[in-house]
């Protein structure tokens, strides 16, 4: 295709612009960016729970625990974690069900809120869980009565209900802070 001779620079620029527009690729389609809500998934009895990532400082295997006399049944004892004494508390027992059965899947979730540093014994930890807004449960959250005060919302993923458990609410509950019998 031989270039046509144009008599003035304006006509040349108009022709160049027209060819550029014809050859230009279209803009990419705008895609919706789905930002996930991320938490630490864990199980207590038969309830699947998730805590905000910032609410859990660390996940540990079960350390050696020393029993403390004169405490409630859900206080399993004290453990030495890297030179610091930490109370180990059975979350399942605290919530009013049977004490947790410690096995290979059992873990300790370490929480540290406002001068309270504690390890919560849970049945199993699933690691990071990612949820999207379209998976959020709408309406009133219905779960076990003992869990209700600590739940803020929930998600449904692959036919499994995951309830958002607030470690902050737990660590500020007066009953949780009273460990002596």
pLDDT digits (tens, 9 = 90+) for 36-59: 999 999 999 889 999 999 999 999
Q: Assess contact for 132 and 34: CB atoms under 8 A.
A: yes
Tens digits of per-residue pLDDT, 58-114? 999 999 999 999 999 999 999 999 999 999 999 999 998 889 999 999 999 999 888
Residue 19 CA to residue 12 CA, distance in Å, equals: 11
**What is residue 5's DSSP assignment?**
P
pLDDT at residue 24 in the model: 79
Task: Give CA separation, 169 vs 66, 78, 89, 111, 115, in Å.
Answer: 27, 22, 16, 12, 14
- Average model confidence (pLDDT) across the chain: 89
Structural domains for the chain: 37-177 (2.40.50.180)
Helix (H) or strand (E) holding 20: helix 9-23
* Strand arrangement of the beta sheet that strand 151-157 belongs to: 124-131, 37-44, 47-52, 160-165, 151-157
**3 state DSSP class of 97:** coil
Q: Assess contact for 121 and 62: CB atoms under 8 A.
A: yes
Q: Assess contact for 162 and 131: CB atoms under 8 A.
A: yes
Higher pLDDT, 157 or 139: 157
DSSP line for 27-69: PPPP----PPEEEEEEEETTEEEEEEGGG--EEEPPPP-B--T
């Amino acid at each position: 295709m031989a270039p046509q001779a144009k008599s003035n620079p304006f006509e040349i620029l108009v022709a160049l612009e027209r060819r550029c527009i014809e050859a230009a690729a279209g803009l990419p389609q705008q895609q919706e960016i789905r930002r996930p809500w991320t938490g630490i998934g864990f199980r207590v009895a038969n309830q699947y729970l998730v805590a905000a990532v910032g609410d859990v400082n660390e996940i540990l295997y079960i350390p050696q625990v020393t029993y403390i006399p004169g405490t409630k049944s859900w206080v399993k004892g004290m453990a030495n974690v890297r030179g610091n004494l930490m109370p180990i508390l059975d979350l399942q027992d605290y919530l009013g069900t049977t004490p947790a059965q410690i096995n290979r899947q059992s873990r300790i979730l370490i929480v540290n809120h406002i001068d309270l540093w504690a390890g919560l014994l849970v049945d199993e930890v699933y690691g990071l869980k990612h949820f999207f807004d379209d998976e959020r449960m709408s309406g009133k959250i219905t779960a076990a009565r003992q869990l209700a005060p600590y739940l803020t919302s929930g998600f449904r993923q692959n036919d499994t209900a995951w309830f958002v458990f607030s470690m902050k609410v737990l660590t500020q509950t007066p009953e949780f802070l009273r460990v002596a019998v």
